[in-house]
Structure 1
Amino acid sequence: MYKRLLSIFILITIIIIGFSEKELFIHLIKEGGSTAIIISVILVAICVFFPIIPFPILAGMIGAVFGTFHGVIVSLTGSMVGTMCFFFLCRYGFKDWRRLS
């Protein structure tokens, strides 16, 4: 029960931070640099959980900011990080809930 509540709390926290700091993230991504790469990877990872923006549009925007090669690397890295986080969150966060069903 504790792990499930922690998992839900983490998801809600991510949503709140994303909505409250939207302008700061957009400004940092437009600047470029290593901070923009990290934010872009996290943004793609979040889109694995909540596909609000279609992935081809998001990948195209990342490619426009960083170039084709670096955009592909950032998009793939974000997809892998998001998928791994989703897997481990479901596996360990909701394991007890699955057993009860």
Structure 2
Amino acid sequence: MRKVFVLLGYVGIAILMYVYGESLLQWIRQGGTEYMIVTSILATIFALFPIIPYPIIGGVLGAAYGPLGGSLITWIGSSLASILMFAFVRYGYQDWGRKWLYRYDRLSKVTVLFERNAFMTIFLTRLIPIIPSIVVNIYSALSRVSFLRYSIASSLGKVPSMILFATVGSTIVTNPGELVFIALFYGSFLLLVYVFFRLFNRFSHHAKQ
């Protein structure tokens, strides 16, 4: 019954977002600092139920509130949504998921390795916007990763990409010519992340030996 109620609640909110999502997005476009708390709640709901791709939401927030305010609201919404999704899966379905994760030998070994390096793995995957957030949320929740470790690693890792979404949205409105420099800067940042990840793996491998 617990699983059924959790699922029905999630589906019900998803339907409401599908029906009223466009109207809520129009309201966000109007901006206004006095509505930042309400907007942060809406950003969380949009991230939790991605009827509209969240990079678009981040861009709209950046255009409405500027790069600083837009980045903050985008980050709050995305971070809270990931934590809520983690709690949703952990509370409702971890018992089912863990049986599946440890049923197959190869997947079990990958999961154990992930759990040993959970903080760094979650942090690095969050730095790369093309990795689906929902996959990281669900996989982490089904594993033995603690709620606190996941929340901190996930929230910290989301900072750069959320700043990117809001900055791009603000730049499109104010100075579109700077988008090239933003793309070059973030591309360089991802290259550094990749190099750091390779060095981290090499160091971990030598440490175990």
TM-score normalised by the chain length of structure 1: 0.75
**Match of residue 26 from structure 1:** 25
Q: Secondary structure at the match of 1:94?
A: helix
Partners of 2:49 and 2:60 in 1: CA distance: 16
Q: 1:43 aligns with which of 41, 46, 65?
A: 46
Q: Using the TM superposition, give the Cα deviation of residue 99 of structure 1 relative to its aligned residue in structure 2, in angstroms.
A: 5.8
The Cα of 1:95 is off from its aligned counterpart by 2.7
Query: Is the alpha carbon distance of 1:44 and 1:66 closer, same or farther for their aligned partners in structure 2, counting shifts above 3 Å?
Result: farther
Root-mean-square deviation (CA), in Å?
A: 2.3
For 2:9 and 2:91, the matched residues in 1 are separated by: 14
Matching of residues 62-101 of structure 1 within 5 Å: 62-98=61-97, 101=100
Number of the residue aligned with 1:56: 55
Identical-pair percentage: 26
**Which runs of 5 or more residues in structure 1 are unaligned?**
none
In the aligned structure 2, how far is the partner of 1:26 from the partner of 1:63?
Answer: 13
Q: CA deviation at 1:72?
A: 0.7
Which structure ranks higher in relative contact order (CA pairs < 8 Å, sequence separation ≥ 6)? 1
Change (3 A) 1:44 1:98: closer
User: CA offsets per residue over residues 36-65 of structure 1, 9 Å max, x none?
Assistant: 343223213333xx7x51x43332221111
CA contact (8 A) 1:7 1:93 kept: yes
Aligned residue number for residue 10 of structure 1: 9
Count of paired positions:
96
TM-score using structure 2 length: 0.40
Q: Report the CA distance between 1:23 and its aligned residue.
A: 4.2
Contact 1:3 1:94 in 2 (8 A): no
What is the DSSP-based 3-state SS (H/G/I as helix, E as strand, rest coil) of the residue aligned with 1:44? helix
Task: Give how far 1:78 is off.
Answer: 0.9
C-alpha separation in 2, matches of 1:69 and 1:17: 30
- What letter is aligned with 1:67? G
The amino acid of 2:27's aligned partner reads L
**Equivalent-residue separation in structure 2 for 1:17 and 1:91 (angstroms):** 24
What is the identity, as a one-letter code, of the residue corresponding to 1:40? A
**Which blocks of at least 5 consecutive residues in structure 2 are unaligned?**
101-209
Q: Which letter maps to 1:3?
A: R
Q: CA deviation at 1:79?
A: 1.3
Q: Which amino acid aligns with 2:13?
A: I
